[in-house]
Amino acid sequence: MLLPEVEYARPSSVQEALGLLSEYEGARPLAGGQTLVNVMKARAAAPDVLVDLQDLDELKGIDLGADGTVTLGAMVTYSDVIGSAEARARPILGEVCAQIADVQVRNRGTVGGNICSNDPTNHLPPLLVALGATMTIRAAGGERTVPAEQFFVGVYQTAAGPGELLTTISIPAGKADGFAAVTIGKDGTCIVNVAASLDGGSPCVVVGCVDAVPIVLRPGTDDEDAVRSAVRGANLQPPSDVHASADYRRHLAEVLAARAIRQAQGRRN
């Protein structure tokens, strides 16, 4: 409950934030804090400096492009997504955000925080990979974009490295999406989750909670048997823990993949 000592800075622009992040070794961005503050309470993480992004209005926009692309600022909260008419252009976004934790967490927790923390049980990493999202990362030297599939590199690790900031997430137009999860209690932490989309060319099924990063499967067709066999063929090596054995997680991955793809099919037209 009691955090280790830490320094705190509250920049007013992305530029200033990037300066702080590179100036101080051991600095970490503080977004909604719904994961980071908890981890610090457990003293499982002890950053030297927290760079609070709350004043960076440039990271709080939700835009709908003429081509149907939805662009979310990294500091957009789950509640913002749920309430946004623009975000509704890709309905699954708000639907999944509404399943994350509880009102209090949704009011503070941010899309950027969710994906940058890349906890394997998070909802948004598999979803954004399935939707074919693109992450924009800014560093002092400039900006680059990374496809979601390459953004997640390890447990709690992403392509946004030290001294960098995830600024926006762009989600292309579409609607034939699905998401299925088994959680601990209703709307709880995911035991296994699967996101699927039929809008990115070939059907894409992404399994969460079974590895350090979301596992991407392209079964070639949206046939349910093909999807199930793709999951079986993926040779998943999920962790065993108090909530599920590896076998159970493997099994759930298959069942949930079928459900996610079915939901996506139901929304194709």
Partner 1 sequence: MEASAATAVRSKTITVEVNGVEYEREVEARRLLIHFLRDDLDLTGSHIGCDTGNCGACSVLYDGLVVKSCMMLAVQADGAKVETVEGLADGNELTDLQRSFTAHHALQCGYCTPGMLMSATALLREKPHPTEDEIRKAIQGNLCRCTGYVNIVEAIRAVSQ
Partner 2 sequence: MTETTVAPPKPVVAEPDKPQKGWAGQNVPRKEDKRLLQGAGVFFDDVKRHGMGYVHFVRSPYAHARIRSVDVSKALELDGVYGTLTGDEVAILTDPFFELSVPPGADMKDYALAVGKARFVGEPVAAVVAATRDLARDAAELVEVDYDPLPPLVDARVAEDGGAPILHEEAGSNVVWEGTFDWGDFEGAVAEADHVVKIKELHFDRFSSTPLECSGCLVEYNRGTGQWTMYCNHQMPGVGAIWMAPAMRVGIDKLRFVTQDIGGGFGNKICLHPYFVACCLLARKLNRAVQWTEWRTDQHTANAHGNERWFQEIEVPVNADGTMLGFKVKAVDDCGAFPRYEPLGCIIWAQVTPGCYRWRNIRVDFTQVVTNKSPVSPNRGYSRMQHLWLTERIIDIVAAELGLDPVQVRKQNYVKHEEFPYETPNGCIYDSGDYARCLDIALDLIGYPSLEEKRVDAESRGKLLGVGIGSTLDSGTNNFGQSMILNPELQFSGNNEVATVKLDIFGEIVVTLGTVPQGQGHETTAAQVVADILGCSPDDVHVRAGHDTYWNSHAGFSGTYASQFAVTGLGAVKGATDMLAGEMKKLASVVLGCTPDDIELAGGMARMKANPEVALPFMALGAILNANNAGLPQDLDVTLNCRYVYRPPFEKPDLERKYGNLTLTYASQVHACVVEVDPDTGVYELVDYAAVDDCGNRIHPQIVEGQVHGATAQAIGAATHETFPYDEDGNLLTPNFYDYHVPHALDMPPLKTGFIESESPFTPLGAKGMGEGGGAGIHAVCAALQDALRTRGSPIVTDSCNPYHRVWSLLQDPAASRAGIEISSR
Interaction between residue 241 and partner 1 (CB under 8 A):
no
Q: How many helices (H) and strands (E) does the chain have?
A: 10, 14
**Concatenated DSSP letters for 132-165?**
T-EEEEEETTEEEEEEHHHHEEETTEES--TT-E
Site for partner 1, residues 104 to 163, rule: CB under 8 A: 104-105, 107-108
Interaction between residue 57 and partner 1 (CB under 8 A):
no
Interaction between residue 44 and partner 1 (CB under 8 A):
no
| Residue 101 binding: pick among partner 2, partner 1, none (C-beta 5-8 Å cut-off by kind) | partner 1
Residue 175, helix vs strand vs coil:
coil
Interaction between residue 81 and partner 2 (CB under 8 A):
no
| Residue 85 binding: pick among partner 2, partner 1, none (C-beta 5-8 Å cut-off by kind) | none
Nearest Cα residue to 196 out of 182, 186, 208, 213? 208
Give φ, ψ of 266 to 5 degrees.
-65, -15
Give φ, ψ of 52 to 5 degrees.
-80, 120
Residue 24, helix vs strand vs coil:
coil
Nearest Cα residue to 44 out of 132, 119, 138, 137? 119
Q: Which of these ranges, 4-12, 131-139, 174-182, 241-249, lies near partner 1 under the rule CB under 8 A?
A: 4-12
- Signed CA dihedral, 143, 146, 150, 153: sign only: positive
CB of 115 to partner 1, least distance (A): 18
Which residues have C-beta within 8 Å of that of residue 91, sequence separation ≥ 6?
175, 177, 267
Nearest Cα residue to 84 out of 53, 113, 54, 106? 106
Quick one: which of 171, 190, 244, 264 contacts partner 2 (CB under 8 A)? 244
Nearer to partner 1, 104 or 245 (CB): 104
Asked whether 113 and 125 are in contact (CB, 8 A), the reply is: no
Q: Spell out, one character per residue from 39 to 58, where the chain touches partner 2: x when CB under 8 A holds, - when not.
A: ---xx---------------
Nearer to partner 2, 38 or 145 (CB): 38
CB of 179 to partner 1, least distance (A): 18
**How far is residue 80 from each of residues 52, 109, 190, measured CA to CA in Å?**
19, 10, 22
The count of residues interacting with partner 2 (CB under 8 A) is 26
Interaction between residue 9 and partner 1 (CB under 8 A):
yes
Quick one: which of 243, 250, 260, 264 contacts partner 2 (CB under 8 A)? 243
Quick one: which of 15, 184, 229, 233 contacts partner 2 (CB under 8 A)? 184
Quick one: which of 7, 25, 143, 225 contacts partner 1 (CB under 8 A)? 7
Q: Residues interacting with partner 1, by CB under 8 A? A: 1-12, 16, 19-20, 24, 27, 30, 33-34, 37-38, 40-42, 49-52, 54-55, 79, 101-105, 107-108, 186-187
State the residues that interact with partner 2 by CB under 8 A: 1-5, 42-43, 102, 182, 184-189, 191, 241-245, 248, 251-252, 255-256
